């Protein structure tokens, strides 16, 4: 039987959804630009996608005002307002425990010396050698082959679109 919390997690805690809902619940009705300015790092394209999805899910109401120039405002619905206790609980938990999480993360991320004690690696390349790199674009790198052997340099290769 699937976990009953999964759909709610996907709905409310998707990338940027929580921030959009948090701002709309706390700041009230906002225009697109005002909302974007309150959430650093959120691009207009992603904000548009999040707002459309949240509107579809009944958590955000969009109001179009037929003026010149046209004005559109967004606000949290009463359904979204029912999430306030959930967000408040998360804020309280964060205030109590986020320091512990950050300390545990720092301790785990600190490199280990051969004897088991933690030390700083000789160079950044030693530290990053085995770290996975997320694919964030359609450009990849591959070794350059010279006379059948890989050369130390790399050249970019464009992925097939």
Distance CA 125, CA 128 (A): 5
Residue 132 above 50 pLDDT?
Answer: no
What Rg do the C-alpha atoms of the chain give, in angstroms? 23
Short-list 50, 99, 97, CA closest to 39: 50
Short-list 42, 40, 33, 28, CA closest to 81: 28
Residue 157 above 50 pLDDT?
Answer: no
Over residues 49-54, mean pLDDT: 95
More confident residue, 34 or 114: 34
State percent of the chain over pLDDT 90: 52
Distance CA 105, CA 25 (A): 31
pTM of the prediction? 0.62
3-state SS string over 25-82?
HHHCCEEHHHHHHHCCCCCHHHHHHHHHHHHHCCCEEEEEECCCCCEEEEEECHHHHC
Q: What is the pLDDT of residues 70-94, one digit of tens each?
A: 899 999 999 999 999 998 999 899 9
Displacement of CA 15 from its chain's centroid (Å):
5
Chain mean pLDDT for the chain = 77
Q: Residue 148 has what DSSP assignment?
A: T
The pLDDT value recorded for residue 110 is 85
Instruction: Determine the Cα angle at 16 with ends 10 and 17, to 5°.
Output: 50
> Out of 6-15, 46-55, 98-107, which region has the weakest mean confidence (pLDDT)?
6-15
100 SS3 class: helix
Tokens encoding 80: 């979204």
State the pLDDT confidence band at 153, using cuts at 50, 70 and 90: very low
């Amino acid at each position: 039987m699937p976990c009953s919390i999964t759909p709610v997690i996907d709905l409310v805690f998707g990338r940027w959804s929580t921030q959009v809902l948090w701002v709309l619940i706390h700041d009230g009705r906002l225009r697109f630009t005002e909302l974007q300015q309150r959430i650093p790092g959120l691009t207009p394209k992603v904000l548009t996608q999040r707002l459309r999805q949240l509107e579809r899910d009944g958590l955000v109401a969009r109001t179009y005002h037929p003026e010149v120039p046209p004005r559109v405002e967004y606000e949290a619905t009463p359904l979204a307002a029912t999430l306030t206790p959930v967000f408040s609980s998360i804020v309280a938990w964060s205030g109590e425990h986020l320091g512990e999480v950050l300390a545990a993360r720092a301790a785990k991320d600190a490199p280990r010396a051969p004897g088991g004690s933690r030390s700083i690696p000789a160079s950044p390349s030693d530290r990053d050698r085995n770290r996975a790199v997320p694919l964030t674009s359609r450009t990849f790198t591959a070794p350059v082959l010279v006379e059948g052997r890989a050369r130390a340099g790399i050249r970019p290769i464009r992925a097939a679109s």
